[in-house]
Homo-oligomer: A and B are copies of this chain.
């Protein structure tokens, strides 16, 4: 199996042509960034991902992270061979700092670039990439709400990658239901808090890759109200800092076990126990009772990050299936009489599978990068109205990306196995790892049901669909531009897109009506609605890509990339967009029998 090769050509196309890096680089704060720098960073990241992270991916899968029991329940984790060394190189290369603010040693590069670089880490080694995601999450929480003192102490060394971060949310009785969190935080005379309780499913909750860990812990003070309003956020160091700000004594937080999982074996999923040996020290981040709000901001970026995981895993699985299909000789070409044995990429159904992987993955990439650029605008634009509009669209599209990309990743990695045939079922081949790894992505950072409920409730019903209607209008206008030129490929795409936009409008009306009349009826079709909206948004972006590609071809470009992009966009319109026709029927369905049915029927 070859090492990961970043799809640089498509990444550059999406960044520079489709999303347009020009206006993003012109935003205040990005003065040092231009297309040349972006391309240079992409190439350097591609090398690191391909040469360093990718070869460790099967190692992490095979050997996994290991738990050492230690004594008295003070367990610890050893990551798979090579992970710690790769992490040192990663931090020293300045990769953790790439999207972070310059005030704390970051490089302050646009999110539009950072998302592409992050796609590479996730493609090359999803298990490794988790420690980056979590550390960026901790950085973000401190930026949002940390006191000056906490920021000054912790941010430079998180940004440099010298230390890493975690999110301590889940407890056995509190998974999707955060209101059930029971972990306690008791205020101490010195202003710190004594933390106690058990947290499960904590990614990189312990490891041997960095000198300290900043655990961000959701917990409840003694007099806090019940429910989510009683949750506060605390920074709990693995090693308490000494007077010089260096890691000192081990805090009373220990890893008591790690999970044996379906996938991402290289990424330790730990159970952490706080306060079983005298008391764990934590520091309040932001105000009491505002833990969930901070967590929600972090969670939104974590959701974009997990959406990018779906993209990365789907991309890599396609790459491997594509290589195999060009190499594996089996059967004859149905269009040739010679009877000569051919590579399976010549077989029509293998072409269909590979092009499904390609076009679907490209559509997801276009959406992920679009959201990243909108985040840049939302954070950096000097124009308050532009910031606000971008922020609202990010809010709308985040659950769409997260839900769609991750569900699709399961489907697309399964397709990759199918292309390998019987060899795909043999673990040594390596392709099955991608489906196993992908399977967690629709679950963590909010299941698909949670994304769909967020979309239907907070993002659409709450404003009566206003932000969405703006997006639909823009998609309509772009569709009409597509139908204009006398180009049969673009017109075919425009025809499908027009029908799918009709489906989207009908479905949106039905969803709003249900959400207003009986929320349960709306939530029952929220997931099909999410898929419908995502499918149409993907078709819109692939349509835009097709127009750019056809302009480049008409402009005389001989780069085959543009022909391939046009074929991929056309395929999306023929094979993926039409799913909207079924989904709109489902969104409109009357499920009242189902909602009233006794539990025994399920």
Contact = CB atoms under 8 A, between A and B. Distances in A.
Contacts of A568: 601
Nearest to A336: B520
A343 to B, nearest CB: 7
Contact of A351 (B354, B524, B586): B524
Given A341-B177, A343-B599, A351-B602, A422 B449 contact: no
A594 B262 contact: no
Interface in A519-573: 519-521, 523-528, 560, 563-564, 566-568, 570-571
A598 B414 CA distance: 24
A66 interface: no
A595 to B, nearest CB: 7
Given A201-B422, A260-B428, A176 B331 contact: yes
Interface stretch (A88-96, A292-300, A440-448): A440-448
Which 4 pairs show the lowest CB-CB distances between chains A and B?
A574-B589, A578-B585, A349-B449, A581-B581
A80 B254 CA distance: 36
A175 interface: yes
Interface string A249-263: 000000000011111
Interface string A439-471: 110111001110011000000000000000000
Given A261-B427, A432-B262, A571-B594, A349 B422 contact: no
A482 to B, nearest CB: 17
A580 B570 CA distance: 20
A352 interface: yes
Number of chain copies forming the complex:
2
A166 to B, nearest CB: 15
A262 B427 contact: yes
Interface string A576-602: 001111110110011101110111111
Nearest to A263: B425
Interface stretch (A16-24, A49-57, A322-330): A322-330
B520 A348 contact: yes
A85 to B, nearest CB: 27
A194 B424 CA distance: 33
B578 A421 contact: no
Interface in A407-427: 410-411, 414, 417-418, 421-427
B426 A443 contact: no
Most buried by B among A348, A528, A563: A348
Contacts of A525: 352
A347 B522 CA distance: 12
Nearest to A448: B418
Most buried by B among A521, A574, A580: A574
Interface in A389-440: 410-411, 414, 417-418, 421-428, 432, 435-436, 439-440
14 contacts: A170-B422, A348-B523, A350-B449, A352-B591, A355-B601, A355-B602, A432-B439, A489-B593, A560-B601, A563-B597, A568-B601, A579-B582, A581-B581, A581-B582
A366 interface: no
Contacts of A590: 492, 574
Interface string A163-179: 00000001001011101
Given A335-B520, A341-B177, A422-B175, A574 B599 contact: no
A527 to B, nearest CB: 6
